[in-house]
């Protein structure tokens, strides 16, 4: 059944665009498509270009929030960033002008994620990025590297993010220097994964932080709960409400074309219980969500009744 969904999605005419505002992402092949599902027993279903590595982009924001919350405690993080959806584009600045003293609305938009990046454990950019790489490696079982070409190309053109970071610093919602926060945030956005890695991250979230085969929770229930709630309410930006209603599972997108999902109690072919799902297709819509990724997830949710509602 999943095969027929994928074949149907793959023959759908391309629409949307590549995230060419990040120059290095303009070179991705439009025809790439991968999907991976993994359940709590470690059963894996992989389809298409499953070994293709792509950059996390905004999906990294979920990992950063988790590491910062586990490091400083949720209450401390919530003093610096709220948990409210904006209904605005991911890189909007407007709310920083009208919000309570310029406090970023949530950690899934660029403003909140840049604040969270400045709160990560470590005395410098390398240490802060490593704090997230270490968590990711425990989840996926291998090390992850920064795609330097993507990172450099975005750092050289990050005019909007630099404006956001300066605004946050001016209103005391940034620790350390603007440059450090920006470099940390953009290196995390450029961390490379494949869909199997991402599906394992989704399973980690769905199971409230369980590491498969180790039967230990790497994070607190509260951190996992807040992460999934933020994915559901803010993870797809100004389309989060539509997809909560039509797909109904915690999801987080990235402009390179990845989408991360956490299913708490699913039954998909021979997969059961907690299920992590990842899909990758680089053409994105005007909001920044993968066009074919969202079509795939909508059909999967309809077919297997994945919605939590």
The half-sphere exposure of 81 on its side-chain side, counting CA atoms within 13 A, is 32
Sign of the C-alpha dihedral, residues 71, 137, 57, 4? negative
112 near ligand DON (CB under 6 A): no
Q: Where are the beta strands (DSSP E) in 152-257?
A: 192-193, 210-211, 216-217, 251-253
Cα(90)–Cα(232) distance, integer angstroms: 15
Q: Which stretch binds ligand DON (CB under 6 A): 36-44, 191-199, 218-226, 253-261?
A: 253-261
Among 106, 110, 131, 194, binds ligand DON (CB under 6 A): 110
Cα(169)–Cα(151) distance, integer angstroms: 22
Catalytic pick among 9, 38, 60, 61:
61
Q: 45 vs 182, which CB is nearer to ligand DON?
A: 182
Question: Distance of CA 208 to CAs 24, 176, 217, 241, Å?
Answer: 34, 31, 7, 23
253 near ligand DON (CB under 6 A): yes
58 near ligand DON (CB under 6 A): yes
90 near ligand DON (CB under 6 A): yes
58 assigned to active site: yes
Q: Which stretch binds ligand DON (CB under 6 A): 32-40, 68-76, 191-199, 248-256?
A: 248-256
Catalytic pick among 135, 151, 167, 237:
237
91 near ligand DON (CB under 6 A): yes
Among 107, 209, 254, 257, binds ligand DON (CB under 6 A): 254
307 assigned to active site: no
173 assigned to active site: no
- Closest CB 303 distance from ligand DON, rounded Å: 25
- Closest CB 171 distance from ligand DON, rounded Å: 19
Catalytic pick among 151, 185, 243, 304:
185
Tell which residue, 196, 246, 239, 304, has the closest CA to residue 16.
239
Q: What letters, b where the CB count within 10 A reaches 16 and e where it falls short, cover 228-257?
A: bebbbbbbbbbbbeebbeebbbbbbbbbbb
57 near ligand DON (CB under 6 A): yes
Binding positions for ligand DON, 146-205, rule CB under 6 A: 154, 161, 189
Q: Where are the beta strands (DSSP E) in the chain?
A: 34-39, 44-48, 54-55, 192-193, 210-211, 216-217, 251-253, 258-268, 271-280
Catalytic pick among 255, 259, 279, 291:
255
Query: Token pair of 291, please?
Result: 């066009």
61 assigned to active site: yes
* DSSP bridge partners of 36: 46, 278
Tell which residue, 66, 63, 41, 46, has the closest CA to residue 279.
46
**Burial of residue 143 (number of CB atoms within 10 Å: 0-12, 13-18, 19+):** exposed
Q: 69 vs 255, which CB is nearer to ligand DON?
A: 255
Q: 253 vs 299, which CB is nearer to ligand DON?
A: 253
- Closest CB 161 distance from ligand DON, rounded Å: 5
Q: 91 vs 281, which CB is nearer to ligand DON?
A: 91
Please answer whether residues 57 and 256 qualify as being in contact, where contact means their C-beta atoms are separated by less than 8 angstroms: yes
Binding positions for ligand DON, 12-51, rule CB under 6 A: none
Which residues belong to the active site?
Answer: 58, 61, 185, 237, 255
Q: Which residues bind ligand DON (CB under 6 A)?
A: 57-58, 90-91, 110, 154, 161, 189, 253-255, 288
């Amino acid at each position: 059944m999943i095969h027929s969904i994928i074949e149907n999605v793959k023959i759908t005419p391309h629409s949307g665009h590549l995230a060419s505002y990040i120059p290095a992402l303009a070179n991705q092949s439009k025809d790439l498509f991968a999907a991976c599902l993994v359940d709590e027993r470690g059963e894996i279903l992989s389809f298409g270009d499953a070994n293709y590595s792509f950059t996390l982009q905004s999906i990294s924001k979920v990992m950063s929030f988790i590491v910062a919350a586990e490091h400083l405690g949720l209450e401390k993080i919530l003093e610096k960033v709220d948990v409210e959806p904006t209904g605005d584009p991911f890189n909007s600045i407007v709310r920083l002008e009208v919000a309570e003293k310029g406090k970023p609305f949530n950690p899934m938009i660029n403003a909140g994620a840049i604040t969270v990046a400045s709160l990560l454990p470590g005395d410098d950019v390398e240490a802060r990025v490593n704090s997230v790489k270490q968590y990711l490696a425990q989840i996926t079982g291998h090390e992850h590297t920064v795609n330097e070409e993507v990172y450099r190309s975005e750092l050289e053109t990050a005019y909007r993010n630099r404006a956001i970071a300066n605004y946050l610093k001016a209103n005391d919602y940034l620790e350390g220097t603007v440059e450090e926060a920006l470099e940390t945030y953009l290196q995390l956005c450029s961390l490379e994964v494949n869909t199997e890695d991402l599906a394992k991250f989704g399973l980690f979230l769905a199971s409230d932080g369980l590491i498969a085969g180790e039967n230990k929770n790497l994070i607190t229930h509260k951190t996992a709960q807040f992460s999934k709630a933020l994915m559901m309410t803010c993870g797809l930006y100004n389309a989060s409400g539509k997809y909560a209603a039509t797909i109904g599972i915690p999801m987080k997108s990235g402009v390179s074309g990845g989408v991360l999902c956490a299913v708490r109690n699913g039954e998909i072919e021979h997969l059961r219980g907690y299920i992590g799902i990842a899909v990758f297709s680089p053409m994105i819509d005007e909001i920044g969500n993968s066009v074919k990724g969202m079509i795939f997830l909508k059909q999967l949710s309809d077919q297997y009744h994945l919605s939590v509602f």
